[in-house]
Amino acid sequence: MTRTYHRSCTLCEATCGVAIEVEGDRVVSIRGDDADPFSKGYLCPKATALGDLHADPDRLRHPMVREGSTWRELGWDEAFDLVAARLEAVQRAHGKDAVAVYQGNPTVHNLGLLTLGQLLFRKLGTRSGYSATSADQLPHMLAAHKMYGDALMLAVPDLDRTEFFLCLGGNPLVSNGSIMTAPDMRGRLKALRARGGKVVVVDPRRSETADVADQHLFIRPGTDSLLLLSMLQVIFAERLARPGRVGGFLDGLDDLERAAREFPPEATAAATGITPDEVRALVRALAAARGVVYGRLGVCTTEFGGLGGWLIQAINLVLGRVDEPGGMMFTTPAVDVEPLTRMLGHEIAFDRYRSRVRGLPEFGGELPVVTLAEEMDTPGPGQLRGFVCSAGNPVLSTPNGGRLERALAGLEFFVAIDMYLNETTRHAHVILPPTTTLEHAHYDLAYATLSVRNVAKYSPPVFERAADQRHDWEICVELYSRLGLPFGRLGKLAGRGIRAALLRLGPEAVLELGLRTGKYRLSLAKLREAPHGLDLGALEPRLPGRLRTANRRVALAPKLYLDDLARLRARLAQPAAAADALVLIGRRDLRSNNSWCHNSARLVKGKPRCTLLIHPVDAAARGIADGDSVELASKAGRVRVPAQVSDEIMRGVVSLPHGWGHDRAGTRLTVASATPGASVNDVTSEELFDALSGNAALSGLTVAVARAP
């Protein structure tokens, strides 16, 4: 007998509604849920991976302990006791901060990890937190923190009402939206153009989104901040600034104007590759329409990503496009995560302390990922000796993965909470594998705050977990209750009591509290009555009430950004790179999400996707033909990949997707290791980063490319 379950897909930010048909413990089909009010039946090819991940024979189902190069299964209790004892031993010997915690991107798609899971990471009490944030969206969060007073106040484009969508360094047609939860991006952009609106893409590559846009402008990697400053200069020079309602609580307009004055389009054109006429035409078109400027990974992951995150907000603010329909707006989610975050003891601030080796600033209790390997392999007081890696594969997803691998191998103790024996977890001493997404309940706490409409949806589990399996939040609670128990037997008893209470309550208790205290006064029961999800309406103005700055005003020109302009000025004054120099950027693929989906045969079949895009002129200059094997090299390392010669990439730039490199020995990834690709992070460098925010600069590294011998 088949049953059908309706839930949200958790594989990317779009949160599409899916209808999953199940027979026994087998997924029979996965379709788009036509009745989901947000995604309306839309589905991308990745959704099939939900079933593939669940049924994957490579998925670990029992705790594993490594003995030399072999792995042995062990029971859960034994595993929890072992992990707690080893973590405690490391912290006792070397201090709390000697244990690092890395939380990978899937954490944000996981209700249990976002709520009760955090108890474990707080309990460890380490200042050595890490996550994918500093290889991704940290500049946006820093801008929100500095300008609006709350790092979680991330404004999203009001895509369904905008008339002009200017997209920098993003490819939403393939990412399906990022810091902009919007299922069916193709349909939404089509609708935008059908109502007379325009889409303009600025990117070093003519991406899939550029292909459906009205205009595409090539830009040199890492120069978005220069373009944005020139746009601001034109806005002020041509008297196009109209902050509107938000102008009533905006500080720093004059400072911003002064800062932009020295970056007219003539001063930045040689660096960006965009002519002054193109910049002025772009600004005039944007100012004339009810438009929005949106920027993503290609803006953030550069040496000036911090400035980029700020300037995107600044342009939207001076044009009166923040908190206005069709512009950048703030959601009104059913669960307000800000008080919830505070309740879980998490305060997001910036630069309260710095990393030991290079002195880079923390953000929200986390250090930049570019410091992770050096904090492990640089001897001295405070050196990292222990590691907890939850739902992450930093060997493939952080710069200079090779150095990190070597550093992981030297740790005293490493525990991974992960369902795979992958490129990172193969270095662990113990792996604690959680259930799959189909085995636990879900609510998109994070993405409901980034949606282009206010929505709420609860997804019950499709499959019951087996008695001998544990959810990731259960693993965290078990370790939490065993760690650092004071007062001998009394402490043990208290620990058991807390554990029993948390396991009984589960993440749903936190969700229930959030729903009941949220604006719509929802409850789990109400969400269960609406299995396709609830549409709570279009985004509404939230300012100034939502502001969390001390003076309840928007800070348009915070000092740290104005100070950082000196660094940009210095870069502008540097001589141009050699004419034949190549710089590296990343790219995404619709059938892939980081490294998650590469063990699904259905998703990796077909033409090779891990190819190095290179312009025909650059290829010819190196004697490279389409399909040739080429070597891509930097100071950090080298990889061999097939060349894809195409004029979709601008001259002087090459592009390799991330998340690949499954050819390491000792993993258990049958499909992925048969189609390994190469890891771009064997080439990227931890030495290239944004000095303001600490974010990794994965784009803009100078590389060498040659035909492989």
CA atoms of 556 and 313, how far apart (whole Å): 8
The token pair at 96 is: 């709390």
By C-beta, is 11 or 703 nearer to ligand SF4?
11
CA distance 298 to 303: 11
Q: Which of 19, 27, 44, 624 binds ligand SF4 (CB under 6 A)?
A: 44
CB nearer to ligand SF4: give 49 or 624.
Answer: 49
| Nearest distance, CB of residue 429 and ligand SF4, angstroms | 33
Contact between 180 and ligand SF4 by CB under 6 A: the answer reads no
Of the candidate residues 19, 22, 27, 47, the single one contacting ligand SF4 (CB under 6 A)? 47
The values of phi and psi at residue 81, to 5°, are -65, -40
Binding mask 687-706 for ligand SF4 (x = CB under 6 A): --------------------
Strand ranges (E), 542-665: 554-555, 582-585, 612-614, 629-633, 638-645, 653-655
Q: Looking at residue 48, what DSSP letter applies?
A: G
The number of beta carbons lying within 10 Å of the beta carbon of residue 493 is: 12
Q: Using CB under 6 A, which of the segments 11-19, 65-73, 80-88, 677-685 binds ligand SF4?
A: 11-19
Task: Using the minimum distance from each CB to ligand SF4, give the nearer residue, 9 or 147.
Answer: 9
Is 15 a binder of ligand SF4 (CB under 6 A)? yes
CA distance 492 to 467: 24
Region from 6-14, 426-434, 465-473, 533-541 binding ligand SF4, contact rule CB under 6 A: 6-14
Q: Is 372 in the site for ligand SF4 (CB under 6 A)?
A: no
| Cα torsion angle, 294, 277, 576, 610, sign | positive
Q: Which is nearer to ligand SF4, 14 or 373 (CB)?
A: 14
Nearer to ligand SF4, 13 or 682 (CB): 13
Residue 687, class by beta-carbon neighbours within 10 Å (0-12 exposed, 13-18 middle, 19+ buried)?
middle
- Contact flag: residue 176 with ligand SF4 (CB under 6 A): yes
Confirm or reject binding of residue 167 to ligand SF4 (CB under 6 A). Answer: no
* Residue 138 Rama label (left phi>0; alpha psi -120 to 50; beta): alpha
Query: Closest approach of Cβ 178 to ligand SF4, in Å?
Result: 11
Question: Under the criterion CB under 6 A, does residue 14 sit at the interface with ligand SF4?
Answer: yes
Query: Segment contacting ligand SF4 (CB under 6 A): 42-50, 239-247, 576-584, 625-633?
Result: 42-50
11 binds ligand SF4 (CB under 6 A): yes
Is residue 16 a contact residue for ligand SF4 (CB under 6 A)? yes
**Binding to ligand SF4 by residue 183, rule CB under 6 A?**
yes
> What strands lie across the sheet with 17-23, from one edge to the other?
2-8, 17-23, 26-32
Output 176 or 451, the one with its CB closest to ligand SF4.
176
Which span sits near ligand SF4 by CB under 6 A: 43-51, 188-196, 387-395, 624-632?
A: 43-51
Nearest to 614 by CA among 95, 205, 4: 205
Residue length of the chain: 709
Please tell me whether residue 32 adopts helix, strand or coil conformation.
strand
**Which token pair is 610?**
């891990």
Only one of the segments 41-49, 114-122, 299-307, 357-365 lies at the binding site for ligand SF4 (rule: CB under 6 A); that segment is: 41-49
Stretch that binds ligand SF4, among 44-52, 417-425, 472-480, 497-505 (CB under 6 A): 44-52
Residue from 7, 9, 115, 209 touching ligand SF4 (CB under 6 A): that is 9
* Residue 676 token pair: 């390994």
Question: Does residue 174 bind ligand SF4 (CB under 6 A)?
Answer: no
Q: In angstroms, what CA-CA distances link 522 with 340, 458, 517, 536, 576?
A: 16, 11, 8, 11, 57
| Residue 12 interacts with ligand SF4 (CB under 6 A): yes or no | yes
**How far is residue 444's CA from residue 162's CA, in Å, rounded to a whole number?**
25
Q: Could you say whether residue 46 binds ligand SF4 (CB under 6 A)? A: yes
Beta partners for residue 295, in sequence order: 168
Identify which of 121, 152, 156 has the alpha carbon closest to the alpha carbon of residue 138.
Answer: 152
Positions in the binding site for ligand SF4 (CB under 6 A): 9, 11-12, 14-16, 43-44, 46-47, 176, 183
